[in-house]
A and B are shown apart, each in its own frame.
Chain A
Amino acid sequence: MSAPTTTSALRRVRTLRTDRWWLPPLGTALGLGAFVVYGLVRTFMNQWYWVPEYHYLAPFFSPCLSDACVPGASHLGTPFPDLAPWVPPPVFVLPFVLGFRLTCYYYRKAYYRSFWASPPACAVTEPHRRYTGETRFPLIMQNVHRYFFYAALLVAGVLTYDTVIAFRGPDGGFGFGVGTLLMLINVVLLWGYTLSCHSCRHLIGGRINHFSKHPVRYRMWTLVSRLNGHHMGLAWASLLSVALVDLYVMLIAAGAFPDPRLFN
């Protein structure tokens, strides 16, 4: 190693870290990039998202609110018209769901590090000449995270409903298959991720200074705080489960293989 001769020269060395600091941001970029590519392909594929026999609705298309939805897939009506083939039903819902993840405090850390290198890793110099953080537009809009949280609560509720109606067999009676169980796991992880959100933690009790005057909210804040400690893990687990359940429903709907039924 060539030795710098001034303190400013020392500052110009990007980092003296000797570990593989680039590995976590690379892994994050690949993971998030793969999800975005899958989401785009799946959204504009615009088919194979509803299995009428078992009442499976793919999470990317839930709730299905457009006249373009296939019959039976719209549980909440179709307030939006069929605008064009290149405006598939998820276009009306996904912006809210993605907005929740995009403004999430964990994902912000993840993509600021992996996509914007600001910084790429701790004690590794970032490549940008200026830095204003979240003080200006557009990044100041990260502060509206709580509004996306409210929308995410509604979507989690709808996905819960989708899971409940998937506990039916072809004859309309009670029944479930592997797809139902996958949807159940997915909705549990989604609720875990949504309720462990930092905005939820704040709104449910974090904003209170006198916990002793609000014992119920203090208890709820304690529970959400415990969940909040796993926010990163839940963020990744729910991202993966949404994509996998969507892929599974797509394969069943496309007739790639029959859903293994466990009961009816």
Chain B
Amino acid sequence: MEGTVEMGYRARLRVWRGDADSGELRDYEVDAEEGEVVLDLLHRLQATQCPDLAVRWNCKAGKCGSCSAEVNGRPRLTCMTRMSLFGEEETITVTPMRTFPVIKDLVCDVSYNYVKAREVPAFSPPGGLEPGEYRMHQRDVERSQEFRKCIECFLCQDTCHVIRDHSENKESFSGPRFLMRVAELEMHPLDSHEEKGGNRPEEARGDHGLGFCNITKCCTEVCPEHIGITDNALIPLKERLADQRYDPLGRLFRRKNR
């Protein structure tokens, strides 16, 4: 059409191709159009050059948490990473999440997260209340609700250096996502885990490795839902643990009822 400006260009991608045993970074050139995201180009690469390219994805709207990968070394959702972030001459490197074992290409085995999820004791409703009978003030639950925004993309787990750089810690450290789950339940106004003999801050320390966290905030930086993981979950959990374990003077003055 007369007057139409051609907005497309040939983008340079360098994509990890391989499986659990071996692989390599391969260079590709793929057409890119204005407004596209990295996942669009991976799909075009799959459609035009590499039909066997493995990419996990689902909603393309930043809500399912499936398309997590590392773009130019930074943990990101590929569906939310605009190509306009990069120069047209720049080579964009896309690799799988480094913390988890690769299954194929950009798809990782994230089962570590499901193992850790099962280790967190579930919400424990107070006695005598059936589901549907819970009544809570909004101000009492809004802290926990922030953590419910989590889409389980596991980018926070991927970027956390405690397990990213030290896989030997995976046994004793559950990662920010599941420490946040403990914090969510610990702050829940109706959770009666403690009345039934549990102790979530102490479990966060002993079973989930809260002390490994040195609050360097990378989990918060990469969270696509902008959850204040460190400030609103991990640090309050550390402070609640300090109440119980590291503050003998405070215990003298503190009331049990919260």
Contact = CB atoms under 8 A, between A and B. Distances in A.
A187 B128 CA distance: 53
A1 B25 contact: yes
A3 B24 contact: yes
Interface of A: 1, 3-7, 10-11, 15-19, 105, 108-109, 112-113, 118-119, 122-126, 128, 130-135, 139-140, 143-147, 198-199, 201-203, 206-212, 218, 228-229
Nearest to B222: A122
Contacts of A147: 249
A109 B215 contact: yes
Interface in B142-159: 159
B245 interface: yes
Nearest to B166: A131
B212 A134 contact: yes
16 contacts: A11-B98, A16-B93, A17-B72, A18-B73, A18-B90, A112-B216, A123-B70, A125-B164, A131-B212, A133-B209, A201-B236, A207-B243, A211-B139, A211-B140, A212-B139, A228-B231
Given A123-B218, A143-B238, A210-B140, A7 B165 contact: no
Given A10-B23, A135-B211, 18 more contacts: A7-B22, A10-B16, A15-B73, A109-B215, A109-B216, A119-B165, A119-B216, A122-B222, A123-B70, A123-B74, A123-B218, A125-B164, A133-B211, A133-B213, A134-B214, A143-B246, A144-B242, A199-B242
B223 to A, nearest CB: 11
Contacts of B70: 16, 123
Interface string B154-177: 000001011011100100000000
Contacts of A206: 236, 239
A108 B214 contact: yes
Contact of B235 (A17, A105, A218): A105
B234 to A, nearest CB: 9
B250 interface: yes
Interface string B211-230: 11111111001100000000
Q: Which 10 A-B pairs have the closest CB atoms?
A: A16-B73, A17-B73, A135-B211, A122-B218, A202-B239, A212-B137, A133-B212, A143-B246, A119-B161, A3-B24
A4 B231 CA distance: 37
B64 to A, nearest CB: 22
Contacts of A228: 231
A146 B73 contact: no
A137 to B, nearest CB: 11
Given A4-B24, A4-B25, A16-B93, A108 B215 contact: yes
Contacts of B22: 5-7
B215 A105 contact: yes
A135 B166 CA distance: 15
Nearest to B94: A16
B159 to A, nearest CB: 5
A134 B222 CA distance: 22
A207 B165 contact: no
A188 to B, nearest CB: 23
Contacts of B164: 123, 125
Nearest to A122: B218
Contact of B165 (A4, A6, A108, A126): A126
Nearest to A218: B139
Interface in B163-202: 164-166, 169, 187-189
Contacts of B218: 119, 122-123
Given A7-B20, A135-B211, A207 B139 contact: no
Contacts of A209: 140, 187-189, 258
Given A16-B72, A133-B212, A7 B258 contact: no
* Most central of B18, B74, B240 by chain A CB within 10 Å: B74
Contacts of A105: 215, 235
Nearest to A139: B214
Contacts of B139: 211-212, 218
Contacts of B65: none
Contacts of B235: 105, 198, 202
B95 interface: yes
B32 interface: no
A118 B214 contact: yes
A9 to B, nearest CB: 9
Contacts of A5: 22-24
A51 B86 CA distance: 56
B247 interface: yes
A209 B221 CA distance: 27
B102 interface: yes
